[in-house]
Amino acid sequence: MDLRLEPWSESALDLLRRINTPQMRRHVGGPEPEEQLLARHRRYLAMPATGRGCMFAVLLGDEMVGSIAYHRRTWQGEQIFETGWNVLPPYHSRGLASAAGATLITIVREIARQPDDPHSLHAFPAVDNAPSNALCHRLGFALLGPCNFEYPPDSGSLMRSNDWRIDLADSGRPAVTPQRDRRCSRHGPYTSDS
């Protein structure tokens, strides 16, 4: 499988629009108006410069088929890394989310070696989002239980989510080991060797 993660770029705006559908956003409040979508795109472009995380486009060959990210946040008084993902419907059930997730976990484990960085990665899929909850289980996250989760951040809007957690200090390895192109910056691109 020729899957790789590349840092978000201007060309990923089309992907963001393809994700912004009722089907793709049904668990997170529905599609956003264009103004909010453009603001989201600008935030994704700026993420690496903040040092708080990175949004990636998931590519299969040369085609953008999804997105995945990690970023810092405060959760229950603790600094954590959070992740979230999307895979476009024509690419569901091909193992792409699993491969992208395993690659991202390896990236975040590498980053979490720094003493001041968080040492856990959380995912917060909606309790009724069966595919995302199953993906968390496949990737080795531990289910901590349901919670009320504010999404989008600082919106005051709460969604009923499951809190899944991986201890990044754990020596366990995800099923897919990424190969990093050493010519690139700290943030990729990263490829899956599956």
> In whole angstroms, what is the distance from residue 145 CA to residue 123 CA?
11
Over residues 11-24, the pLDDT tens digits come to 999 999 999 988 88
Q: Are strands 120-123 and 142-150 parallel, antiparallel or unpaired?
A: unpaired
Phi/psi of residue 27, nearest 5 degrees = -90, -5
Give me the amino acid identity at 2. D
pTM, to two decimals: 0.85
Give me the amino acid identity at 182. R
Over residues 60-103, the pLDDT tens digits come to 999 999 999 999 999 999 999 999 999 999 999 999 999 999 99
Tokens of 158: 């709460």
Over residues 147-185, the pLDDT tens digits come to 998 876 777 778 899 999 999 986 554 433 333 332 224
> In whole angstroms, what is the distance from residue 17 CA to residue 41 CA?
10
- 3-192, CATH topology level: Aminopeptidase (3.40.630)
